[in-house]
Amino acid sequence: MIDVRNPRTGEIDHRFEPASAAQVTDEARRLRQAQPAWQALGPERRADVLRRWADAVEAHTEALVAALSVDTGRLKIARVEVEGLPRNIRRWAERGPQIIAALDARDRPSAFPGVSISTRHLPYPLFGAIAPWNFPVVLSTIDLVPALMAGCAALVKPSEVTPRFVEPLRETVAAVPELESVLAFVLGGPETGQALIGAVDYVCFTGSVATGRKVAEAAARAFIPANLELGGKDPMIVLASADPVQAAKTALRASVVASGQACQSIERVYVARAIADSFVAALVDEARACRPNYPDIGIGEIGPFIFARQAEVVQAHIDDARAKGATVHTGGTVERLGGGLYLRPTVITGVTTEMLVMREETFGPVIPVTVFDTIDEAVALANDSSFGLSAAVLAGSAEEAEALGARLEAGAVSINDGALTSMVGDAEKSAFKLSGIGPSRSGDAGLTRFFRTQALIRQTGAPMPLAAFAEGG
Ligand code: NAD
């Protein structure tokens, strides 16, 4: 049995039996049997089935929001996640057939005389996903929907930390029989995850770097592609031309939304000396105004830590910064409210590159601010990280922000905003450095990555005789 803690009460109020390796194998076998018919339906009819799934999700909105808000201890973001799912499904149902039609290239002559080539696009039969706890619905479905659109069957393992939403989600799938035959969710922890990797043909993993390495190793043994979306330590650079008060509001939102439990959270802020004092003052004021969503889940900006151990990591980063001489202006101590663990937005100045809060992923509402003097210094500081998920630049003009953004080592750069990748699903991007490996999950590549290509190479003339390769010939 796996015990599940309620993030608002701190109590274990849910338990479940993890799927065994044998159950994962059985489920994979069932899905594989149904996959050829799903593929044969073709893109338009798969899109129709997906649209019916979107309708079913909409019909179950309240049950999904209720379960997800217990999983995550937050209400508004639970609703945003759940209401975003049918939109995402419909977006892929709309766009998918066009992308697939464009892929199916017509015959073309080869550079090799007498030969023509056509290319078929064959989906990996069984797609697998392993998801984290921070946005359970979004991250259990973000790769799944385009994989289904491509014609894969799909086996998804959400995080064992947030399993409650899965039951109502299964009900939405059961409402669409064609989908039920090719889509299953299995619940469990690391062992179930490992079993899944051994059972599928392509795995998409979202989670920490440490687990990502284990997934990559297991995928290498299983000889399947692993698409890894891992942690981040995203920098934001605030140039002297930016409005310091507006910049502070943007920095705060991009750092503390979802209590900072987001991979593309801003975790380091670099501000130009000319506006640093007014920026920090505004940031501290804005941070102080944030309230926990306690005792009423319907108020405030800061939810509890979903995963209790994460609160310990965040506290350790803050304590390490304090011990090494940083100044903590707001927040700074994890509070226990009604059994839930909360941290108010924590603005820190006087940080150095040796501090944990500047090097490792914090994954909490913590905003370390560093002052810079020159643009080159800002770029060097922002790029001084083993992560490269995304970044942000705020300036007085888009041109100025973009010129600097182009110098950053990150897969996506928000220009005059922060963490836009959390809201924009159609920007193609890679994860740089330790933040990930593999094709983009967003944009058209989010779908095309699930195809293998098969070339049909036609000889239109006479096949070459062996004599053509004979010595002295
Ligand atoms: P995690 O790595 O602890 O767990 C993620 C998933 O992996 C869970 O489902 C877990 O059960 C499973 N798992 C654990 N050990 C496994 C193993 N040995 N083999 C197979 N599966 C295993 O991550 P988490 O703590 O749930 O999530 C937080 C992390 O996710 C953060 O680092 C965050 O940055 C990252 N994240 C990345 C993105 C992105 O798009 N890059 C998005 C959200 C979260």
Render pLDDT for 313-323 as a digit per residue (tens, 0 to 9). 999 999 999 99
Q: What is the mean pLDDT of residues 442-457?
A: 96
pLDDT the model gives residue 64: 98
pLDDT the model gives residue 107: 75
Give the ligand 1 atom nearest the CA of 157. Answer: 9
Q: What is the pLDDT of residues 143-166, one digit of tens each?
A: 999 999 999 999 999 999 999 999
The reply to whether ligand 1 has any atom less than 6 angstroms from the CB of 27 is: no
Q: What is the pLDDT of residues 393-432, one digit of tens each?
A: 999 999 999 999 999 999 999 999 999 998 998 999 999 9
pTM above 0.95, yes or no: yes
Percent of the chain residues past pLDDT 70, beyond the cut: 100
pLDDT the model gives residue 310: 98
Give the ligand 1 atom nearest the CA of 197. Answer: 20
pLDDT the model gives residue 104: 78
Please report which confidence band the pLDDT of residue 199 belongs to, taking 50, 70 and 90 as the band edges.
very high
203 Cα: distance to centroid of ligand 1 (angstroms)? 13
Please report which confidence band the pLDDT of residue 281 belongs to, taking 50, 70 and 90 as the band edges.
very high
Is residue 106's pLDDT more than 80?
Answer: no
pLDDT the model gives residue 44: 98
How far is residue 332 from each of residues 239, 293, 327, 365, measured CA to CA in Å? 27, 18, 10, 10
Q: Whose CA is nearest to atom 13 of ligand 1?
A: 190
Q: Whose CA is nearest to atom 8 of ligand 1?
A: 159
131 Cα: distance to centroid of ligand 1 (angstroms)? 6
447 Cα: distance to centroid of ligand 1 (angstroms)? 22
| Residue with token string 């939304």 | 257
Measured from the Cβ of residue 362, the count of other Cβ atoms closer than 10 Å reads: 28
227 Cα: distance to centroid of ligand 1 (angstroms)? 13
The reply to whether ligand 1 has any atom less than 6 angstroms from the CB of 215 is: yes
Is residue 139's pLDDT more than 90?
Answer: yes
Q: Whose CA is nearest to atom 43 of ligand 1?
A: 263
pLDDT the model gives residue 297: 98
Is residue 181's pLDDT more than 90?
Answer: yes
Is residue 85's pLDDT more than 90?
Answer: yes
* Mean pLDDT of all residues belonging to the chain: 97
Please report which confidence band the pLDDT of residue 309 belongs to, taking 50, 70 and 90 as the band edges.
very high
Q: Please name which of 186, 169, 151, 176 lies closest in space to residue 85, comparing C-alpha atoms.
A: 169
The reply to whether ligand 1 has any atom less than 6 angstroms from the CB of 442 is: no
Q: Determine whether 204 is an active site residue.
A: no
pLDDT the model gives residue 109: 87
Burial of residue 189 (number of CB atoms within 10 Å: 0-12, 13-18, 19+): middle
The reply to whether ligand 1 has any atom less than 6 angstroms from the CB of 130 is: yes
pLDDT the model gives residue 441: 96
The reply to whether ligand 1 has any atom less than 6 angstroms from the CB of 391 is: no
pLDDT the model gives residue 108: 82
The reply to whether ligand 1 has any atom less than 6 angstroms from the CB of 305 is: no
Of 229, 301, 360, 400, the active-site residue reads: 229
Of 152, 178, 263, 301, the active-site residue reads: 263
Q: What is the mean pLDDT of residues 232-253?
A: 98
pLDDT the model gives residue 227: 98
132 Cα: distance to centroid of ligand 1 (angstroms)? 4
The reply to whether ligand 1 has any atom less than 6 angstroms from the CB of 159 is: yes
231 Cα: distance to centroid of ligand 1 (angstroms)? 9
Is residue 105's pLDDT more than 90?
Answer: no
The reply to whether ligand 1 has any atom less than 6 angstroms from the CB of 142 is: no
Q: Determine whether 229 is an active site residue.
A: yes
